[in-house]
Amino acid sequence: MAHLAVSQLSMTVPVRTDSTLRTSSVFKANNVRFGDKSWAPLLSLDLKSRNARLRNRYVVCMSVQQASRSKVAVSPLELEDAKEPPLNLYKPKEPYTATIVSVERIVGPKAPGETCHIVIDHCGNVPYWEGQSYGVIPPGENPKKPGSPHNVRLYSIASTRYGDSFDGKTTSLCVRRAVYYDSLTGKEDPSKNGVCSNFLCNSKPGDKIQITANYDVLVGPSGKIMLLPEDNPNATHIMIATGTGVAPYRGYLRRMFMESIPNYKFGGLAWLFLGVANTDSLLYDEEFSKYLQDYPDHFRYDKALSREQKNKNGGKMYVQDKIEEYSDEIFKLLDGGAHIYFCGLKGMMPGIQETLKRVADQRGENWDQKLSQLKKNKQWHVEVY
């Protein structure tokens, strides 16, 4: 089906509640081309009883699947002028109050858990670069420090500096709802659920959110470790993620393949490895698959589905197994100057490191020395949480 070209878009989406239909207006976007699926309403509710409390929330059905062969014009291009990334603009004691634009469930019914794509309007006042993080301060009192606000929770940004509306005024987060189940009863214990992830996933358009800006999860308030190096537009970028760790890579890939940016024309190779539980757990899959279709010489996409695929030994397929499968290519690319990125749960790294060490041993290389050289060359980028 042909794409619909839009110069000025605003839309109102009906949302069903228990007894009535409500509407929420969606932000305007300039010069955007949406595939036909972008218009399909996506119900952001988990229909299981544990999420029945969400039935009355507003749902904005702005699909995150915006990939198109024709690149999208972005503005303001002044966002390209800064020589250094914006750092520590809003600190925990002086956060910026932004507004929730939309919350959209982006996993299927068979995914273990709920993951949401959350768009936040910062009015252009909290700029960032691809690979940086936002801090979110959930409302309420810190139970460990009565009278004080909650601690900041850090989330990798899942959009480019122009945001999902391509106008530099929004940012996007990819958040998995943290839910605790009692090991004895098997029932959910809301008192132990993740405070910030549930606040974000339960949010509705118009809600206010306090954010701090441009912090880095691994090394503190620098915000530089996961920045996309753009000095060589023909470089190779190997991106490895588990679950919501795919967030910064979505920003990279939109900048490479979706947006029309005069001073950045990507001509290299982007190779994404994504590890999740099953097909329903894949995040931004249609977006990535469209890049694969449109840019086969510049994008590769490999998935590790632990509950659906088997590794060569007959065990569950994890992302490190995919890395081992392509280890010869990966090592050759690293020797040629490729950047390699890891983002996801901290528990992913030991298995990956063991795999890389084993492969290096098989190749007659010293992994510790190789790793030291990769870090020295600034080819090694890790953000885990």
Active centre residues (catalytic): 155-156, 343, 383, 385
Closest CA to 222 of 85, 322, 317: 85
One DSSP character per residue, 206-254 reads T-EEEEEEEEBTTTBTT--TT----S-TT-EEEEEEEGGGGHHHHHHHI
Give the count of beta carbons closer than 10 Å to the beta carbon of residue 25. Answer: 11
Phi, psi of 22, deg, nearest 5:
-115, 170
**Pairing verdict, β 133-137 and 115-121:** unpaired
Q: Which two tokens stand for residue 224?
A: 């530089």
Q: How far is 3 from 65, CA to CA, in rounded Å?
A: 13
| Secondary structure (3-state) at 191 | helix
- Are 229 and 339 within 8 A, CB to CB? yes
Q: How far is 357 from 302, CA to CA, in rounded Å?
A: 21
**Pairing verdict, β 380-384 and 339-344:** parallel
- Are 360 and 367 within 8 A, CB to CB? yes
- Are 320 and 71 within 8 A, CB to CB? no
Closest CA to 122 of 157, 84, 72, 85: 157
| Nearby residues of 346 by Cβ (< 8 Å), 6 or more positions away | 384, 385
Q: Cα 366 to the chain's mean position, in Å? A: 33
Q: How far is 135 from 212, CA to CA, in rounded Å?
A: 5
Q: Which two tokens stand for residue 203?
A: 């949010």
Q: How far is 150 from 136, CA to CA, in rounded Å?
A: 9
